[in-house]
Amino acid sequence: MTERDATNKSKSILTLGTLASLIIVGGVLYQAQKDLPNDPELLSIPEQVVEAVIIPATVPEATIPEALNHPNSASKTPSEPVKTPLPSLDASDDFVRERIVLMSSKTEINSWLAADDLVRRTASYLDGLSRGIMLGKIFPLSSPQSSFATHNDGDVIWLNAGNYERYNTTVAVLASLDMKSMAQMFHFARPLLESAFLEMGYKPRQMDGILLTAIDQVLNTPIIVEPISLTRDSVAYKYADMSLESLTPLQKQLIRTGPENTQRLQQQALLLKNALLNPNGNQ
């Protein structure tokens, strides 16, 4: 580990930045996948395994610049000393939950954090997102509202635009989080997340590359404002447009949230990326 990494660790206190970053990047996308076992009227997406497959030769590398200052205001706990020691990775869940609930007034956050081993789950989920897949059992997020619906116009099957509203509540929760604070908290929590990625066989620069690649998966998703036609393969639907069907599962799920929700999430993802790459306010 470099001297910069060691300095980062000695300065950091635990916050939920990276966990929150993960939720911003991928939370709403998981909602669609969560319906798969119970809703046959869903776009066809292969089931993903929970375990990430480590392929060192293809792992992206990047360097997220060090934050020189770690203001207390980012954690919204002004009375807490900056040098509060980090808990161990195994004992970090309660500390994680206590801080993430301070970042949003939305009550859905509480149920999203009901799982245990949150930092390790974050690392696994980010790894999947960077590859364009969703590890659907990582976080117990709330399901989309109502059921997936289509309508026929002659021989053409169309995706109902009303489906987009199913994700409004989830997107509102994600949009309520401040991305500048998320980036600051990433630096605070970095030592724990690095430990989780180390267990998966990754190095710090690979962790940075995975996080930025996951964000880019969202940013590179096309905004589809026109009606979307589908084809049916057995009981499942696929996009009729092969340029859409050939997208990653993550991007196909994001399109299903609708153009307005996709744009809101992309705005958040861009704010997060800019804040991560400019931690000290440099333009």
Rounded to the nearest integer, the mean pLDDT of the chain is 77
Instruction: Give the containing element (helix H, strand E) for 19.
Output: helix 17-34
What pLDDT shows up at residue 174?
87
First and final C-alpha spacing in the chain: 28
Does residue 13 lie within any of the structural domains?
Answer: yes
Does residue 237 lie within any of the structural domains?
Answer: no
Please determine, for residue 81, whether its predicted confidence score (pLDDT) is greater than 70.
no
The number of distinct structural domains making up the chain is 1
Does residue 282 lie within any of the structural domains?
Answer: no
Kindly list the strands in the beta sheet with 156-159, ordered across the sheet, starting from the edge strand earlier in the chain: 150-153, 156-159, 229-233, 236-239
What pLDDT shows up at residue 282?
58
Distance CA 179, CA 265 (A): 11
Summarised one tens digit per residue, pLDDT across range 219-277 is 999 999 999 999 987 778 899 999 999 999 999 989 999 999 999 999 999 999 999 99
Amino acid, single-letter form, for residue 207:
M
Please determine, for residue 203, whether its predicted confidence score (pLDDT) is greater than 90.
yes
- Give the residue among 231, 226, 225 at the shortest CA–CA distance from 157: 231
What pLDDT shows up at residue 198?
96
What pLDDT shows up at residue 15?
39
Q: Containing domain of residue 73, as a range?
A: 3-146+164-224+250-277
Q: 127 vs 25, 34, 35, 246, CA distance in Å? A: 12, 18, 22, 20
Does residue 180 lie within any of the structural domains?
Answer: yes
Average of per-residue pLDDT across 41-63: 52
Does residue 47 lie within any of the structural domains?
Answer: yes
Does residue 232 lie within any of the structural domains?
Answer: no
Does residue 51 lie within any of the structural domains?
Answer: yes
Does residue 152 lie within any of the structural domains?
Answer: no
What pLDDT shows up at residue 209?
96
Cβ contact 58:210 at 8 Å: no
Please determine, for residue 50, whether its predicted confidence score (pLDDT) is greater than 70.
no
**Is this model's pTM higher than 0.85 or not?**
no
Summarised one tens digit per residue, pLDDT across range 7-44 is 444 444 333 444 444 444 444 444 444 443 344 344 43
What pLDDT shows up at residue 74?
43
